[in-house]
Amino acid sequence: MTFSSADCEPDKPEYYLEACDLTCVRDDQVLFDGLNFRIGSKQVLLIEGKNGSGKTSLLRILCGLGLQDGGEVKWCGESIERLGAGYHQHLAYVGHHDGIKRDLTVLENLHMAQALDQPGRLTIDQALEKVNLWGYEDVQAHALSAGQRRRLALARLLVTDNCLWILDEPFTAMDKEGIADFERLIATHTAHGGLVVLTSHHSLNCDGADVQRIDLS
């Protein structure tokens, strides 16, 4: 785990996310106990495990949404609880629910995402092209298919300026092509110094990315 700062964009500092002794108990069941890991820029963490092994709980704890029963999550050495919005400005999360408003158009959804965070590297047009939603700008999200909505949720990652992506089953409902597209996007993101934490039932095919794996079961 060595980084060389020369590979990064000049204005991007090194970031790292740590889990220290994380414990999670749900309904009397210990999902994980004393979980430790650390990932830094340009790395991908793939969390594996069977259903109910606590993947989603772990992701929510990493986001600061869920409550852990012990331990701490740190961002660049500081507890995320202390950082609050200072952590959230680096974080983008796509959960089980994709956070897409069905009564808003594709464009409005992405505008809202930009307003809540900071606009990112790509313009909305570029992002829509990358996720293959070009031409759907003015379509309301309820008219999209499930896979397309998932793509839209992922487009949100591209139009905002977040270096840490936390993704819960990002490939659900997506076709092969979409998965391949998205794997390329993850590779680009890490190449630019980003961090990705994701759960997936699919095998991840990211050439060139430094993928770590954790198995919860």
Contact positions toward other proteins, by CB under 8 A?
A: 25, 28, 30, 60, 63-67, 83-86, 88-89, 91-93, 95-104, 108, 111-119, 161
Place of tokens 């004393």: 34
**Helical spans, DSSP H, in the chain:** 55-63, 80-83, 85-88, 106-116, 124-130, 146-159, 176-191
Is the Cβ of residue 7 or residue 33 nearer to other proteins in the bound state? 33
Is the Cβ of residue 89 or residue 200 nearer to other proteins in the bound state? 89
CA distance 81 to 20: 13
Least distance (Å) from other proteins to the CB of residue 67? 5
Q: Which of 125, 197, 110 is nearest to 160 (CA)?
A: 110
Least distance (Å) from other proteins to the CB of residue 45? 18
DSSP character at residue 204: P
Burial label, 109 (beta-carbon count in 10 A; 0-12, 13-18, 19+):
buried
Is the Cβ of residue 114 or residue 188 nearer to other proteins in the bound state? 114
Least distance (Å) from other proteins to the CB of residue 106? 14
Least distance (Å) from other proteins to the CB of residue 191? 22
Neighbours of 5 (CB within 10 A): 12
Is the Cβ of residue 54 or residue 206 nearer to other proteins in the bound state? 54
Is the Cβ of residue 15 or residue 183 nearer to other proteins in the bound state? 15
